[in-house]
Amino acid sequence: MHFIQSLVSLALACATAIPLIEARPSGHESRSDPLSLISPIRGFSFERMAATREPCELKPTRNFQRMKGISRKGAASRTAPVRIGAYQRQATPNDGAYQNITTTDARGVAYAVEVDINGVSVNLIVDTGSSDTWSVQSNYTCTDYMGSMLQQGACAFGHTKPQTFQYGPVPDVHLFVQYGDGEMVSGPMGLSDVTLANITVEKQQIALVNESYWIGDNYTTGILGLGYPSITDAFYGEPYDHEQYQSAPYSPVFTRMVQQGLVDPVFSLAISRNSTGGLLGWGGIPDIINGLDSSTYGYADIIIANIVGDPHTAWAYSFYTIIPDGFQFGMSTNEDKYPFIIDSGTTVNYLPLILADAINAAFDPPAKYLYSYGAYFTSCDAVAPPFSVVIGGTAFLINPKDMILRNQKDPLTGLCMTTVSTGGTGPFILGDAFLQNVLAVFDIGSAQMRFYGRPYY
């Protein structure tokens, strides 16, 4: 049976949309509040995302795009682990109690889709952790970490780049983004039609970057930001003006797509095994996905992980975050409540230390922590323990194939890296090792994340 048919019995009927300024519908208030179950996390605070409507039936959509997996080869600076480490250092600069969790994901994978900007086709990285859509323009300046000019090839952007805004620039407004490791992009903002799949978002505000310190991949030319309007990085004034009082929030691509009545307030991700790519669906679920396991369905409220620290920074990211019911591994169950970021740009799963230790000890042979990598390693032909993430009362089993990275081998010991690592002080992360086993639905309108099991093979 086509998997879309199997969703009908799981979905809820749509209610009348309510205004964006309204709070979560009263029907959701009876749930126990997971925010009261977690301890404060270094550098972060949490708030519940407001719903704009009740959950509705998920529809198949032909408005989908194929994503291409792009190896970062060390350019992991846009991933959630690096951002978390940067914010925790920023929040407590003289306290070394946090744990840096960036090492294990240094060879992760980003996912890119084709986007048409002003008639020019470019490849942009899909990023659920930021909101701005930008592409480097043809005539840009590439710099090093200190700001010294380099040849354009040093920034390693893709070859096809837009040159102008279709409807002209937005006067006195520019993009400025500085990432945790120093990477920077800056450039004017303007209005252009943006086409994704079969959808054209008219007069969308985007940036054409004209100055950048960037560690590229020779394929992508920028970012497709799928986050919230509140975390856009547009500013009034001169190119390097980026104080909080100069911020110029605007509606990013997905928000405008919904506002223009082009799609329902939902998008979905299905990541392929072995980092080959996947599918990105707009307004529903790509109608070509088959084999969804209708017996495994769960949902969780979206909470927003906000950065705590100096408000006058350009590093104002926010993440799609949920609180799972718990975890099952081997014959054990852990029901402690922790906040987890859902991040397609992170390869492994970052768990609390005690949980990560226990799961890795259950490999046969047991996985050992190697401090030189900041990760756990075991025999490349080891037997992984059964490991499930419990969300909405449903246990999502992670395929044993996704528990060991056989292409991440320590040359000295010949051991392979596991995909269960320690997330330091949190927040923690469910990355590709989890997402390869589910269809993840970002139902922004009802402030939920929904997950549907995919074939176990």
Give the residue numbers marked as catalytic: 127, 343
For the chain, percent helix, then strand, then coil, each to nearest 5? 15, 40, 45
Q: What is the CA radius of gyration of the chain?
A: 21
Calculate the CA dihedral of residues 409, 424, 227, 310 and round it to 10 degrees: -130
Cα 101–Cα 106–Cα 112 angle in degrees, nearest 5: 115
Task: Determine the 3-state secondary structure of 27 from DSSP.
Answer: helix
Which string of DSSP letters, residue by residue, matches 302-319? -EEEEEPS-SS-S----E
Q: 222 vs 48, 118, 158, 187, 277, CA distance in Å?
A: 30, 15, 9, 12, 18
Residues 6+ apart with CB under 8 A from 29: none
Q: Which of 352, 341, 371 is nearest to 449 (CA)?
A: 341
Whether cis (ω within 30° of 0) applies to the bond prior to 365 is yes
Q: 190 vs 166, 168, 410, 432, CA distance in Å?
A: 8, 6, 47, 34
Place of tokens 């198949």: 60
368, amino acid identity: K
- Side-chain-side CA neighbours of 311 within 13 Å: the count stands at 4
* CA separation for the pair 274, 226 (Å, rounded): 24
